[in-house]
Amino acid sequence: MAPRQTVLPLAYRAFFLIIEPTSALVGAFYAHFRQDEYLAMTTHTSSSSSPVSFGLSIIMSQLANLYLLFALNEALVLRSTGDLRVWRTVLFGLLLADFGHLYSIAAHGAWMYWDVRRWNAIDYGNVPFVYLGASMRIAFLAGVGLGAPGESKGKKAV
Protein backbone atom coordinates (compact mmCIF):
# COMPACT_ATOMS: atom_id res chain seq x y z
CA MET A 1 0.00 0.00 0.00
CA ALA A 2 1.41 3.38 -1.02
CA PRO A 3 1.96 6.05 1.65
CA ARG A 4 -0.88 8.52 1.98
CA GLN A 5 0.03 11.81 0.29
CA THR A 6 -1.82 15.03 0.92
CA VAL A 7 -1.73 18.72 0.16
CA LEU A 8 -0.96 20.30 3.51
CA PRO A 9 -2.48 23.61 4.61
CA LEU A 10 -0.32 26.69 4.08
CA ALA A 11 -0.15 27.44 7.81
CA TYR A 12 1.52 24.08 8.51
CA ARG A 13 3.86 24.30 5.53
CA ALA A 14 4.92 27.86 6.37
CA PHE A 15 5.47 27.17 10.05
CA PHE A 16 7.13 23.73 9.88
CA LEU A 17 9.13 24.20 6.69
CA ILE A 18 10.21 27.85 6.95
CA ILE A 19 9.45 29.76 10.16
CA GLU A 20 10.47 27.20 12.77
CA PRO A 21 13.60 25.91 11.01
CA THR A 22 14.74 29.51 10.51
CA SER A 23 14.20 30.19 14.20
CA ALA A 24 16.27 27.11 15.07
CA LEU A 25 19.07 28.35 12.81
CA VAL A 26 19.05 31.68 14.68
CA GLY A 27 19.34 29.74 17.94
CA ALA A 28 22.24 27.72 16.50
CA PHE A 29 23.99 30.92 15.43
CA TYR A 30 23.72 32.49 18.89
CA ALA A 31 24.61 29.28 20.76
CA HIS A 32 27.78 28.86 18.69
CA PHE A 33 28.93 32.34 17.64
CA ARG A 34 27.53 34.60 20.39
CA GLN A 35 27.90 32.33 23.38
CA ASP A 36 28.36 35.04 26.03
CA GLU A 37 25.20 36.82 24.92
CA TYR A 38 23.20 33.58 24.55
CA LEU A 39 24.20 32.38 28.00
CA ALA A 40 23.53 35.75 29.66
CA MET A 41 20.05 35.96 28.16
CA THR A 42 19.25 32.33 29.01
CA THR A 43 20.33 32.67 32.64
CA HIS A 44 19.18 36.29 33.11
CA THR A 45 22.63 37.41 34.19
CA SER A 46 24.73 40.38 33.18
CA SER A 47 26.27 40.07 29.73
CA SER A 48 29.41 41.67 31.13
CA SER A 49 30.20 38.50 33.08
CA SER A 50 33.40 36.59 32.40
CA PRO A 51 33.79 34.80 29.08
CA VAL A 52 32.31 31.36 28.66
CA SER A 53 34.65 28.65 29.90
CA PHE A 54 36.27 26.19 27.51
CA GLY A 55 34.05 23.31 28.63
CA LEU A 56 30.87 25.37 28.50
CA SER A 57 31.84 26.62 25.06
CA ILE A 58 32.01 23.04 23.82
CA ILE A 59 28.60 22.29 25.34
CA MET A 60 27.13 25.43 23.76
CA SER A 61 28.52 24.42 20.36
CA GLN A 62 26.97 20.98 20.83
CA LEU A 63 23.66 22.72 21.61
CA ALA A 64 24.08 24.76 18.42
CA ASN A 65 24.61 21.51 16.53
CA LEU A 66 21.35 20.14 17.97
CA TYR A 67 19.51 23.29 16.88
CA LEU A 68 20.99 22.74 13.41
CA LEU A 69 19.84 19.10 13.45
CA PHE A 70 16.37 20.24 14.54
CA ALA A 71 16.21 22.73 11.67
CA LEU A 72 17.46 20.25 9.07
CA ASN A 73 15.20 17.41 10.21
CA GLU A 74 12.15 19.58 10.16
CA ALA A 75 12.87 21.50 6.96
CA LEU A 76 14.41 18.71 4.88
CA VAL A 77 12.68 15.54 6.06
CA LEU A 78 9.23 17.10 6.06
CA ARG A 79 9.89 18.88 2.76
CA SER A 80 10.85 15.55 1.16
CA THR A 81 7.50 13.85 1.71
CA GLY A 82 3.78 14.34 1.95
CA ASP A 83 3.35 11.03 3.74
CA LEU A 84 1.26 11.94 6.79
CA ARG A 85 2.78 9.06 8.78
CA VAL A 86 6.23 10.60 8.40
CA TRP A 87 4.95 14.09 9.25
CA ARG A 88 3.12 12.75 12.34
CA THR A 89 6.17 10.81 13.49
CA VAL A 90 8.56 13.76 13.13
CA LEU A 91 6.12 16.24 14.68
CA PHE A 92 5.33 13.91 17.60
CA GLY A 93 9.05 13.67 18.38
CA LEU A 94 9.35 17.46 18.20
CA LEU A 95 6.30 17.83 20.47
CA LEU A 96 8.06 15.73 23.10
CA ALA A 97 11.10 17.97 22.64
CA ASP A 98 8.85 21.03 23.16
CA PHE A 99 7.82 19.69 26.55
CA GLY A 100 11.46 19.00 27.41
CA HIS A 101 12.41 22.51 26.32
CA LEU A 102 9.71 24.06 28.51
CA TYR A 103 10.80 21.88 31.43
CA SER A 104 14.43 22.95 30.97
CA ILE A 105 13.61 26.53 31.98
CA ALA A 106 11.67 25.56 35.12
CA ALA A 107 14.62 26.47 37.35
CA HIS A 108 13.82 30.14 36.73
CA GLY A 109 10.52 29.67 38.57
CA ALA A 110 6.86 29.66 37.59
CA TRP A 111 7.02 33.30 36.45
CA MET A 112 9.01 32.20 33.40
CA TYR A 113 5.93 30.60 31.88
CA TRP A 114 3.64 33.60 32.09
CA ASP A 115 5.25 36.89 33.24
CA VAL A 116 5.89 38.58 29.91
CA ARG A 117 7.10 41.75 31.69
CA ARG A 118 10.21 39.90 32.88
CA TRP A 119 11.07 38.20 29.61
CA ASN A 120 14.09 39.11 27.51
CA ALA A 121 14.58 38.37 23.81
CA ILE A 122 15.55 34.72 24.27
CA ASP A 123 12.60 34.10 26.59
CA TYR A 124 10.24 34.93 23.72
CA GLY A 125 11.84 32.02 21.85
CA ASN A 126 11.87 29.77 24.90
CA VAL A 127 8.26 30.28 25.98
CA PRO A 128 5.61 31.70 23.62
CA PHE A 129 7.33 30.48 20.46
CA VAL A 130 7.62 26.98 21.95
CA TYR A 131 3.95 27.21 23.02
CA LEU A 132 3.10 28.14 19.42
CA GLY A 133 5.15 25.27 18.00
CA ALA A 134 3.61 22.78 20.42
CA SER A 135 0.13 24.09 19.61
CA MET A 136 0.77 23.75 15.88
CA ARG A 137 2.04 20.18 16.39
CA ILE A 138 -0.95 19.25 18.58
CA ALA A 139 -3.33 20.69 15.96
CA PHE A 140 -1.58 18.77 13.19
CA LEU A 141 -1.54 15.53 15.18
CA ALA A 142 -5.26 16.02 15.94
CA GLY A 143 -5.90 16.41 12.21
CA VAL A 144 -7.05 20.04 12.36
CA GLY A 145 -7.30 21.39 8.82
CA LEU A 146 -6.27 18.12 7.22
CA GLY A 147 -9.73 17.15 5.98
CA ALA A 148 -11.57 13.89 6.40
CA PRO A 149 -9.57 10.64 6.37
CA GLY A 150 -9.16 9.39 2.82
CA GLU A 151 -10.32 12.70 1.33
CA SER A 152 -6.93 13.55 -0.14
CA LYS A 153 -5.72 10.11 -1.23
CA GLY A 154 -3.48 10.25 -4.21
CA LYS A 155 -2.70 13.95 -3.97
CA LYS A 156 0.93 14.89 -3.80
CA ALA A 157 2.13 17.06 -0.94
CA VAL A 158 3.09 20.62 -1.67
pLDDT at 156: 46
**Which pLDDT score, from 0 to 100, does residue 18 have?**
97
Residue 150 within a domain: no
> Does 48 map to a domain?
yes
Helix, strand or coil, per DSSP, at residue 63: helix
Report if residue 1 sits inside a domain: no
Query: What is residue 70's three-state secondary structure?
Result: helix
Does residue 135 lie in a domain region?
yes
Any domain includes 3: no
Q: Does residue 29 form part of some domain? A: yes
What pLDDT sits at residue 155?
A: 43
- Is 158 part of a structural domain of the chain? no
Kindly list the distances between the CA atom of residue 143 and the CA atoms of 18, 87, 146, 148, in Å, as whole numbers in the listed order: 20, 11, 5, 8
Q: What is the signed CA dihedral for 110, 113, 115, 118, rounded to 10 degrees?
A: 90
Q: Which structural domain, as residue segments, surrounds residue 21? A: 12-141
Q: What is the DSSP-derived secondary structure letter of residue 6?
A: -
Number of domains within the chain:
1
Residue 147 counted as domain residue: no
- Indicate the SS3 state at residue 54: helix
Q: Tell me, what's the pLDDT at 116?
A: 96
pLDDT by 10-residue block (mean), the chain, 158 residues: 73 97 97 95 78 94 97 95 95 97 96 96 95 98 83 46
